[in-house]
Structure 1
């Protein structure tokens, strides 16, 4: 009896060579990269949660959208988040989500989710460098800058 199973693979096609990837050195640069790569047609409509995947030099390998939700929230599946981080061989992440309302203050749910992801990252030896909240005007809030990461 022949048993065939599915083969799982991961691939991505870089649009730029690694030497041209932006290197994240501050929350303002991270927020700029995130905002510039957000769909401007939806940033004021509904919440989305993304991760910025980084190599050992904090250069951006890519951005992956984990979820898109409703007007006031989105669900984040930690298994999917860490599957992407592990499969892409990323050593660090920056978490990002938008607040369509424009407010930059993190909710208690935002803080709890960040703590949960940080604990998972610690276990897997994946650094969580920041959690950036952006709004439709490009303003941002950095968990790292505020000392709550």
Structure 2
């Protein structure tokens, strides 16, 4: 039996092509410049029937001019928490060509104060963003009746 030998050229590499195709014109994108505006945009994207039921974690992707490129649902969990994979946060940010991100998650309990776990997660995501040059501008805790901004409260 003869085996077919293939010669491998180590100087040839697969080509990877990066592209970005916007669906929405910049003039139609909302611009955010305060935590209140961020809350209002997130609130429109949140399932209001589920905000008091399960904990969700979302990321707002922003252009350099703070135009909203999109909102990505990273995870959905139970009544007391959800698992957030930092790689998924930045995979979405890189794919959308984001210049920065804003994090948000809901507390079904209605409690607006961040837990120690919320603070640790925020710091982990911020560290990854520093390395990738995609900073986290804020992290909001959402409830049916209001929000808590890490940046406004000095927890950043």
Relative to the length of structure 1, the TM-score reads 0.89
Residue 96 of structure 2 corresponds to residue 64 of structure 1:
no
1:15-94 matches, cutoff 5 A: 16-94=24-102
Counterpart of 1:134 in 2: which secondary structure? strand
Contact 2:20 2:97 in 1 (8 A): no
Residue 125 of structure 2 corresponds to residue 117 of structure 1:
yes
Counterpart of 1:64 in 2: which secondary structure? strand
Which residue matches 1:131? 139
Which residue matches 2:153? 146
For structure 2, the residue ranges without an aligned partner over 5 or more in a row are 1-5, 7-13
Give, in angstroms, the shift of residue 17 of structure 1. Answer: 2.0
Counterparts of 2:128 and 2:121, CA distance in 1 = 11
Matched residues, number: 143
Counterparts of 1:105 and 1:94, CA distance in 2 = 18
Counterparts of 1:147 and 1:10, CA distance in 2 = 37
Contact 1:23 1:59 in 2 (8 A): yes
Structure 1 moving runs of 4+ over 2 Å: 7-14
Greater Cα radius of gyration, structure 1 or 2? 2
Counterparts of 2:85 and 2:17, CA distance in 1 = 20
Counterparts of 2:19 and 2:72, CA distance in 1 = 13
C-alpha RMSD of the superposition: 1.9
Counterparts of 2:18 and 2:77, CA distance in 1 = 27
Q: What per-residue deviation string (whole Å, max 9, x for no partner) do you get for residues 61-87 of structure 1? A: 000000000001000001111111111
Give, in angstroms, the shift of residue 127 of structure 1. Answer: 1.4
